[in-house]
Structure 1
Amino acid sequence: MKYIVPIILFLVSCTTQPTGKYFPDGLLSEHEDLDSFVQSWYGKHLASMDEPSLANATNHEYRFTWLPTFHQPMIFRISIEDEKYIFYVKRTDGAGGYDSGRIVDNQKIKIPIETARNIISKLESDCQFWGQPTTLDTMGFDGSQWIFEASKKGRYHVVDRWSPDDGCFYEIGVELMSLSNLKINEIY
């Protein structure tokens, strides 16, 4: 494990550029260098999709950022604005482990209120989102980062997982992908 992190840092650092802050300092790693690296990596993808930071959001916001190493990065965001549920889907032509690319899909989709409420309920209750640690000691070379964020009533939290292939977060991610109606060749 101690050799994997420096290799990953080296490979991705060649393509990361400083961006605005999307996450509070120290949230994505207790190690300052790794936290800075991950902030830059995730931030460049969120910036390329013209996404807001949710850390200080005034609306209730739920976002799933999917960064597959060799495939197109995507975000799926449910925003609650004036008691309306708005579903945003964005995808770039980049690769999640490398270049952020440019937006190729940018949709604002109307989904049934009950569908949005069920997803949020599953995230908060079934997945126990607010009580989950932000990160786990699981990572690898290939795969994808599954980053779930929420901002609700002044509270903010992130759950960052590497390549889940089952479980609650995987199920929610796949459900959001399905709601987007976009063709996704491989989910990993």
Structure 2
Amino acid sequence: MNKPLRRILSIGILTLFLTQIGFSQSIDKFVDSTIKVDSLNIPTDFKQPYFPKEMFPKVKTDWIEENDSTFTIRTKIIEGTYDEFVVNWYSEHLHAMKEPLLFNRKIDKEIYRFTWLRTFDKPMTFRFEKRNDRYILYWKVLSGAGGYEPGKIEIERLKILTEKEWAEFTQLIGKANFWKMDLARSSIGTDGSEWIMEGVNQTDYRAVSVWSPSKGNYYNACDYLISLTDLKISDKKKY
């Protein structure tokens, strides 16, 4: 095999490998210094989306009958599209929460943010940050409803946590295979809730949304963040 061909094959194999491990979610492709933000990296333009368009492509849906004769809508990504409705919906609530953007600049810490939009209940967000040996959980609750108007900030608190609590959370995130989860919304249903998780570190950014999980590793990771706060939420309301 001649050297040029060997070099081309090597580059091709490397490219495939990087794609498989999530190279396409590199923070470099999302960084945008033209986005107008304040000193806390909160967008000053209410029309600014909170997610890169690549994170939420449109999906096509299929109705799947479950064992109990109910139906669930399963989704399949439509490549090269952008679900503007979903991004605007999610972003409206994050704007109301006065949350920072997570994708527009490089950072020297690691952050996970779970945004919980229940159709008939108060929207909430939980942002867990690690910087060196400091671990902080921030949470906010709005007065509105996740499927309607967001309302205003009703609760805004923070808590200093431990390395052990960070390790327990990231272990759950790892079990959920978060950094390789499918983009877009994994499934869709009437009412219910959107469980949106973002992750960002020095090299990567990712955002995914799961509709109304009731069990599993992804549910456990999100529920763990709720458990670290002083919010009292019954199991019935964890939909």
TM value normalised by structure 1 = 0.84
Aligned mates of 1:136, 1:97 — CA distance in 2:
15
- Partner residue in 1 for 2:55: 27
1:12 is matched with which residue?
Answer: none
1:97 and 2:125 are equivalent in the alignment? no
Q: Structure 1 stretches (4+) deviating beyond 3 angstroms? A: 30-34
2:195 alignment partner, one of 112, 131, 146: 146
Asked if the contact 2:55–2:206 (Cα under 8 Å) also holds between the matched residues in 1, the reply is no
- Aligned residue number for residue 41 of structure 1: 89
- 1:181 is aligned to 230
How far did 1:81 drift? 2.6
Q: What is the CA deviation profile of residues 112-171 of structure 1, one whole-angstrom value per residue up to 9, with x for unaligned ones?
A: 221112101220x21111111123551111100000110012200112100001101111
8 Å CA contact 2:172–2:218 kept in 1: the answer is: no
Taking structure 2 as the reference length, the TM-score comes to 0.67
Query: Which letter does structure 2 place at the counterpart of 1:92?
Result: L
Identify the residue that residue 52 of structure 1 maps to in structure 2.
100
Gaps of 5+ in 2: 1-45, 59-77
Trace 1:95-134 onto structure 2 (pairs within 5 A).
Answer: 95-123=145-173, 125-134=174-183
- Residues 1:167 and 2:216 are matched in the alignment: yes
Residue 142 of structure 1 aligns to a residue whose secondary structure is coil
Pairwise CA distance, 1:21 = 2.1
Q: Distance in 1 between matches of 2:113 and 2:96?
A: 15
Provide the aligned C-alpha RMSD in A.
Answer: 2.0
Match of 1:85 in 2: 135
Contact kept? 1:56, 1:154, Cα under 8 Å: no
Does the aligned pair in 2 maintain the 1:73–1:100 contact within 8 Å?
Answer: yes
Please, which of 116, 128, 140 is the counterpart of residue 66 of structure 1?
A: 116
Supply the distance in 2 between the matched residues of 1:38 and 1:178 (Cα, whole angstroms).
27
Deviation at 1:83, TM superposition (A): 3.0
For residue 26 of structure 1, give the secondary structure of its aligned residue in structure 2. helix
Aligned 8 A contact 2:140 2:155 in 1: yes
Structure 2 vs 1, CA of residues 172 and 20 (structure 1 numbering), >3 Å: closer, same or farther?
Answer: same
Kindly provide the amino acid, as one letter, of the partner of residue 199 in structure 2: A
Identity of aligned residues (%): 36
Deviation at 1:182, TM superposition (A): 0.7
Higher CA-based Rg? 2
Listed as ranges, the gaps of 5+ residues in structure 1 are 1-17
Tell me the CA shift for residue 98 of structure 1.
Answer: 0.8
Aligned equivalents of 1:131, 1:159: Cα separation in 2: 10
Distance 1:142 1:21 in 2: 23
Q: Read off the aligned partner of 1:46 and give its amino acid letter.
A: L
